[in-house]
Structure 1
Amino acid sequence: MKKKIYILFIVFLIFFSYGLVISQFDLKIIVDELKPKNPEGFFDYRGVVNVHSIHSTGSGSVQKIIRDAQEEGLDFISIADFNSAESTNETQGYHNNLFVFFDKEYSYLNSRLINYFSKEDSLNIGPGRQQVFIADSLEKLTRDKKSGLWVLSHPFQRGYEWQGNYPAGLDGIEVLNLKSIWENYWLKSTPSFLWTLFVYPFNSDLAFIRLFEYPENEIQLWDTLNKTRKTLGFAGSDAEEKILLPNKQYIKIPKYKDIFQIANNHVLLESELTGDPLSDEKKLRNALKSGNFYFSFDLLANPKGFASYIEDSNGNRHLMGSEIKYKPGQVLHIILPQKPFVPF
């Protein structure tokens, strides 16, 4: 008996020592600044999209998700519950300094579509008619503004792959989907994934980075779609704070707060948000619809200060997502907040 206790103690000591070592790993690729500056001429606002609450596949209440997003310093968040008819007592708009959007995720042809910024009442119908309405919306290259954006979530996740041609009315895809990245890693390298669970309590940043693989298929699809029509690219968190166990049990990891730190969508505006919910909603919505944003792995560094735009011969600047004709004298500008420690 004493021998077993001694062996367990040694194993625990080794594991704890290993944890202390990896907890010291600093993975930042630029120097952290107390107050990063906006890029000259623009204002950078960061947010997370594709978040699920207890009303669908998540484990947290809407109120908890909002609190976690506030604590992480997000400027906006989109809670998009899946096929949910349940409503929340919370309202769209400002919750302190956080702007909250309530959107919807739908099942369509075995894939998952997120409808952002919709004012469409026709979706509050039965599943059959709902599918017909979605199909009709996706076939239209131009449609009523109140129908919002249609974005394909995790386009290559096993069991949810899109079948056939991509419709003309598809506004964007998730180039990054964090849950899909983790699930693919589990299928490809289960032992390494399990070891990552041991790393997580000591250094959650390192644990998440261990799971990341370059989204080659998604990047290729994004490039292909953009050759024929403008297609937006999002980083989707797919945050649920939930890992399923047998017998309908689950554990609450990874935490919403941890997920909100990993990958964000950064909107660039030419004027500041004012705190007025109506005008600020319009600014954020129009910027996202226009593609005036970028996504980044904020886990590695705060990218605030980054900007990319084309300046024409008259000094006019055209942000990412703008559609302009080529003219002589145009100059592409790419601004980095700092020079990274790693090759780029």
Structure 2
Amino acid sequence: MNSNIRGRPDYILLFLTVLLVGFGLMMIFSASYPVAILKHNSPWHYVVKQGVFALIGLFVMFIFMGIPFSRWKKASPTLLLFSLLALMLVLIGGVNINGARRWFVLSGFNLQPAEFTKLSIIVYLSAIISKKGEQIRNFRRGLLPILVMIGIILLLVMKQPDFGTVLILFFIAVTILLVGGVDLRHLFFLFLALVPIFIYLAMSKSYRLQRITSFLNPLDHPDDSGYQLIQSLYALGHGGLRGTGIGHSVQKLFYLPEAYTDFIFAVVGEELGFVGTSLLIIVFFLFIWRGFVAAIRSNDPFGLMLGMGIVMMICIQFMLNIGAVIGSLPITGVPLPFISYGGSSLILCLASTGILLSISRDNYRRRKENDRNSTK
């Protein structure tokens, strides 16, 4: 392939990404300023911090967009080792917030190692499965070593505890294994073996069981496990078709917990109504579609699995968050990609998008090369 042909990124995907980040900053300011004034005496506190992370994330995205995605294959063992060390260290020296030890605090900013583990597991699985090739269909020599590594990571994340991230990592792994050509019988028996474990994990702690069951009828628990969902549904109902207008949410005034983080979609629904939330969902679907197109157009098995893993990561977080906010799924504490307040999540999403854009650049370069060869 002629390296002088410079591939260009998927500009639609790039535009959708910047659009989501900009919209997220606007909604974070709207949803957070009452809390920011009360706690920090400044309405700009949270949006400024998120803006810093947005700038860092966009810088990383453009850097990653310029790196050929194939280079991540060699870096996969290092990334995985770094993630394993970070997950172990956070259990020892991490900050305990609301009973969970998931964060490092650096200069006033919280960093969550489990977020970056999502990308490292995507890169690692894509690299090792593409290297194994057809051997992945052999359980003992192909699949079993991979399952052991996945199991270690899931256990470390579960110790924090972070059940939402465990689910996301599980779905990411299954997606890449399917794309990589694993024997479906092996996945079926693995699923049967994991069902009792997931049931035990869900029922072993009372707060998890309450979260899982309360979404079915939150009015049965209006003062504890059902309170957050009830306030979310009030916000969505109050928004109606067109919303109350930007800045005019009532529920964010200390009624709805986590209004600018996990439940920011409820504030979007109250202030922009059904029309605004529908447009946001359409933008997400367009983003997922463009990411899917970039992945399937790659002629490199590593690129295909890498792209599909990234798309699934963002897609499953999108579905888990909105499903929880509207009462269709249990509350798992998963942020809305690009929109919710949280630096680790935002940087992860932008860095991952940079890799998707790198894949799209390679696709464009290859098509141009093929067109040049066909005209000779």
Q: Bigger relative contact order, structure 1 or 2, given CA contacts below 8 A and separation 6+?
A: 2
Question: By percentage of residues, which structure has more strand?
Answer: 1
In the superposition, the TM-score normalised over structure 2's length comes to: 0.25
In the superposition, the TM-score normalised over structure 1's length comes to: 0.26
